[in-house]
Structure 1
């Protein structure tokens, strides 16, 4: 992804649950206690761009205690929870991914950079492939009728995350281009 990619920026801004492993002065306001330091063990939602380096950086370089743990422990965001993964395994088409996260696959990809969760990776891959067939079918129908956003089509689009919406647009443009080409061939 490009540095200027809006979807990448929005994905990095997604909040992920973090547990602080040490007391941090002057940050109590993150835990609704502005007069106190942020205590070790406090759970706070931090944007992914901040949480990832805090979780991956070791404290040993600046620690006088010899403690070599990380500053925070990361948890998977609610959009990648066991409940969501179970629902996706049961029927990937039934879960409106946009309700989970506008950039569901982008967030999943970024979290898989941090966590080595083979099961989540397999579930996300299967979900994308399964849903891609429906996306292509709806895009072809929309291309055939030039009815891209009315009724059931609009409801379908509402549940797609950004990657799926891009796929829909590309498939729709391909169908439309193919139709125009066929009409040009018939004229000659």
Structure 2
């Protein structure tokens, strides 16, 4: 990940649900109150929630909040992905679903969710490659609908695949001419 990677910055900005465990009197501006009380549920950007969830003042101290899995990684979404990864428009769940998933799996021990995301990537990557190969032949109709449902990692894979096919065709044309 590069410091200037826009997708990494946007992934860090994704909101995740949290619940405060401590009384935090000077952070009330986050939910328009005088201060945050224990039990306050709030959605924070991933970078902030992660830092607060991992922070503690000493050996015995608790972290100020607990971090929960976001809606894009909920059990319902995981069940739909497990049933048929191609049927879920990942972009409707989150534009950076895989990035959020990787970051959350670093924090949570969710082996089943990790397996679902790996399988989803493998199955959908094959479709992305096929569409990238045939993108010049038919861009409209089903192709446009397919592209609309792709998550950012999948879009990057599509662009690279399409560029590779285009360059291979250009190379073959140059070889045929010489």
TM-score (norm 2): 0.94
Task: For residue 135 of structure 1, report the CA deviation from its aligned partner.
Answer: 0.4
2:25 aligned counterpart, secondary structure? coil
Alignment check: 8 A CA contact 1:22 1:40 kept: yes
Give the Å deviation of 1:59.
3.3
* SS of equivalent residue, structure 2 residue 106: helix
Q: How many angstroms apart in 2 are the aligned matches of 1:44 and 1:161?
A: 25
TM-aligned CA deviation for residue 185 of structure 1: 2.1
Partner of residue 94, structure 1 = 87
| From 141, 154, 158, the counterpart of 1:164 | 154
Per the TM alignment, residue 173 of structure 1 is displaced from its structure 2 partner at its CA by 0.7
How many residue pairs get aligned? The number is: 178
Q: Tell me, which stretches of 5 or more residues in structure 1 are unaligned?
A: 62-66
1:115 is aligned, of 89, 108, 122, to 108
Find out whether 1:76 has 2:78 as its counterpart: no
What is the Cα deviation at residue 2 of structure 1? 0.3
Deviations 1:35-72 (A, max 9, x none): x32110010001111000111112336xxxxx521110
* Residues 18-41 of structure 1: per-residue CA shift (max 9 Å, x gap): 110011113334334x2x321100
Gaps in structure 2 of 5+ consecutive residues:
none
What SS does the aligned partner of 1:99 have? helix
The offset of 1:129, in angstroms, is 0.6
1:57-96 deviations in Å (ceiling 9; x for gaps): 12336xxxxx521110000000000000000000000111
State the alpha-carbon separation in 1 of the partners of residues 160 and 130 from structure 2: 12
**Aligned structure 1 segments of 4 or more residues deviating by more than 3 angstroms:** none
Task: Say whether 1:51 aligns with 2:49.
Answer: yes
Q: Once superposed, what is the RMSD of the aligned Cα atoms? A: 1.4
Which secondary structure state, in structure 2, belongs to the residue aligned with residue 41 of structure 1?
coil
Any conservation in 2 of the 1:104–1:161 contact (CA below 8 Å)?
Answer: yes
- In structure 2, the residue matched to 1:180 is 170
Structure 2 CA distance, aligned partners of 1:54 and 1:46?
10
